[in-house]
Amino acid sequence: MFRSVTAEAPRPENGNRDLAAAGIGLLASPTEAAQAAEKMLRRRYQWADTDKAETFVALGGDGFMLQTLHSMMEGGDPKPVFGMNRGTVGFLMNEWRLDRLPERIAGAKAIRVAPLDMEATTVSGEVHRHSAINEVSLLRETRQTAKIELSVNGRVVMPELVCDGVLVATPAGSTAYNYSARGPILPLASKVLALTPIAAFRPRRWSGAILPDDVAVRFRVLEAENRPVSAVADQFEVREVRTVDVRLDKERSMTLLFDPEHALDERIAMEQFAT
């Protein structure tokens, strides 16, 4: 996914605007808008090689930002990322601007986000492990509703939830799928997780729970062979799961950089007043 800057890269216009000296590299989504923005930025600034960069500018939308963060987690050495929106929603991104980028990065507000760790065991006994920055969700695979047992720290808190699905969301992801499922918006510094049902049939009036972020959540799929359920950690899907264990992995937290007037914590707080 990451592309190194080569010797043939266009030289910056308007003098030496050297982001390479600060260890800042450039990544871009393959979309037309992101690629066009990348060309302009490479003409304007000098960039560090990808394998030498200590900070990255990422061009794209929220999906590309999540993809970038997941790639860094898999590499074991996450770097701070300053995103600029060349996608659609861009909730995790800053405004796209060509000028004064070194000053913006130097004055950016650093926001730490920790991912969820998901361990999913399938009906056949295979174990899959993935991370999620936004949420881990369980979803029915067929026309039949899912039946799921919920446990928190080893204690069964709901013997049977009959539903289309259920999810655990981080504060950073609470305005995404969680909010669409009528889950709560969580302030970024709240140290809690949202446990939210998706189209619950029984108990019909259960709207979910807010949990401390140091708990372990287990989902056990009841009648897993006859009522198959998939587990999704951001964009990673595991089908026909029997159990799914979820916890927050604070040791793998990552840093997103934002313009102070456009920081993620403030944007999440203001989403509570959106109409």
pLDDT score, position 275? 72
- Cα–Cα distance measured from residue 233 to residue 247, given in angstroms and rounded to the nearest whole number: 12
Is 1 part of any domain?
A: no
Provide the pLDDT for residue 158: 97
pLDDT at 7 over 50: no
Is 245 a member of any domain? yes
Q: Among the options 62, 213, 214, 265, which is catalytic?
A: 62
Both 47 and 132 in one domain: the answer is: no
Inter-CA distances, 13 with 20, 35, 96, 169, Å:
15, 18, 19, 44
**Average pLDDT for 192-206:** 95
The answer to whether residues 184 and 210 touch, using CB atoms and an 8 Å cutoff, is: yes
80-89 confidence digits (pLDDT tens): 999 999 998 8
209-231: average pLDDT: 98
**Joined tokens for residue 108:** 């950016």
Residues 96 and 181 in one domain: no
What pTM value is reported for the model? 0.86
The pLDDT of residue 194 is 98
| Residue 211 included in any domain | yes
* Distance separating alpha carbons of residues 226 and 206, to the nearest angstrom: 24
**Domain with 220 in it:** 116-250
Number of domains in the chain: 2
- Binding-site positions for NAD(+): 62-63, 134-135, 164, 172, 175-180, 199
Output the known binding site: 62-63, 134-135, 164, 172, 175-180, 199
Classified as helix, coil or strand, 266 is helix
pLDDT at 11 over 60: no
CATH number at residue 75: 3.40.50.10330
Residue 57 placed within a domain: yes
Contacts of 241 (CB under 8 A, 6+ apart): 120, 121, 122, 123, 138, 221, 224, 229, 230, 231
Pair 155, 220 in one domain? yes
pLDDT in tens, 227-262: 999 999 998 999 999 999 999 999 999 999 999 988
Q: Are residues 144 and 234 in the same domain?
A: yes
Amino acid at 233: A
Average pLDDT over residues 57-82: 93
- Domain assignment present for residue 14? The answer is no
Question: Residue 165 is part of a domain; what is its CATH number?
Answer: 2.60.200.30
Helices (H), the chain: 32-44, 62-75, 101-106, 177-180, 264-271
Question: Percentage of the chain surpassing pLDDT 90?
Answer: 82
In a domain, residue 16? The reply is: no
Q: Domain for residue 4, yes or no?
A: no
Peptide bond into 203 cis (omega under 30): yes
41 φ, ψ (degrees, to nearest 5): -70, -35
Are 246 and 257 found together in one domain? no
For residues 160-171, give the mean pLDDT: 98
**How far, CA to CA in Å, does 53 sit from each of 21, 57, 80, 253?**
10, 10, 10, 19
For 177-191, how does the pLDDT look when each residue is reduced to its tens digit (9 = 90+)?
Answer: 999 999 999 999 999
Same domain for 222 and 137? yes
Q: What is the model's pLDDT at position 2?
A: 42
Could you tell me if 235 and 125 lie in one domain?
yes
- Asked whether residue 195 is domain-assigned, the answer is yes
pLDDT grade for 77, boundaries at 50, 70 and 90: confident
Residue 99 among the catalytic residues: no
89-142 pLDDT tens trace: 888 999 999 999 999 999 999 999 999 999 999 999 999 999 999 999 999 999
Residue entry with tokens 């900070």: 55
Going by DSSP bridges, is the β-strand pair 217-222/241-248 parallel, antiparallel, or unpaired?
A: antiparallel
140, 106: one domain? no
